[in-house]
Amino acid sequence: MYSGWMSTSERLIESTRELLWERGYVGTSPKAILERSGAGQGSMYHHFDGKQDLALAAIRRTAEELRATAEGVLGGPGTPYERIEAYLRRERDVLRGCPIGRLTMDPDIVASDDLRAPVDETLDWIRERIAGIVEEGKEQGRFAASLDGEEIAATVIATVQGSYVLARASGSPAAFDTAVRGLLSLLAPQSS
């Protein structure tokens, strides 16, 4: 499944990332990780202290990737509104859900301070980044002065995560798109 240039530890991390997204922590057995990665039986314990250590490496990698993707659009060109719009409209596998947001539904992840930390840190980072963009837009006169950056950022995160749920429930990305359009219409700069 993985190319020959990828090290065994990388194959283990990538396999675990995929399995956590698909099955959650409990459903991600060491056997499934080894089968997907094509690694030998002792490989996981050679490279990692166990399933939790490997899962933590996988979650951290997913969190880093999600932050980099978000920064790519939030730190890109355009007005504050256009950058938030780009974040909301960026290409996603909507019916698969968010690889970080889905972990918040996993009781084993939430119960572990270590496993939960990169999830919480990533959502906080995105929220803070969006709040800063809203404040930037207010300073430029592009957003109403009455908007609270923290509240808008929380609303953006809630819209994205909730829209994944709506899309998965309906089996259609249309629900995600509808929610994004609704939020953008509320944020759209008012013409004078």
- Assign residue 136 the CATH number of its domain: 1.10.357.10
34 belongs to a structural domain: no
Q: Is residue 50 part of a domain?
A: no
Q: Which long-range contacts (CB under 8 A, 24 or more apart) does 183-189 make?
A: 183/88, 183/155, 183/156, 183/159, 184/84, 184/85, 184/88, 187/81, 187/84, 187/143, 187/152, 188/81, 189/79, 189/81, 189/142, 189/143
Asked whether residue 55 is assigned to any structural domain, the reply reads: no
What is the mean pLDDT for each group of 10 consecutive residues in the chain (192 residues)? 76 95 92 92 87 96 97 97 97 94 93 97 98 97 94 97 96 96 90 54
Does the predicted TM-score (pTM) go above 0.75?
yes
pLDDT of res. 150:
97
Residue 46 lies in a domain: no
> Does residue 14 belong to any structural domain of this protein?
no
The domain tally of the chain equals 1
pLDDT value at residue 44 = 87
Does residue 75 belong to any structural domain of this protein?
yes
Decide if 155 is inside a domain: yes
Range of the domain at 140: 62-187
**Residue 148 · residue 88 · CB < 8 Å:** no
Residue 35 lies in a domain: no
Cα separation of 41 and 164, whole Å? 36
CA angle 25, 96, 48 (to 5 degrees): 30
Tokens 């969006």 found at: 130
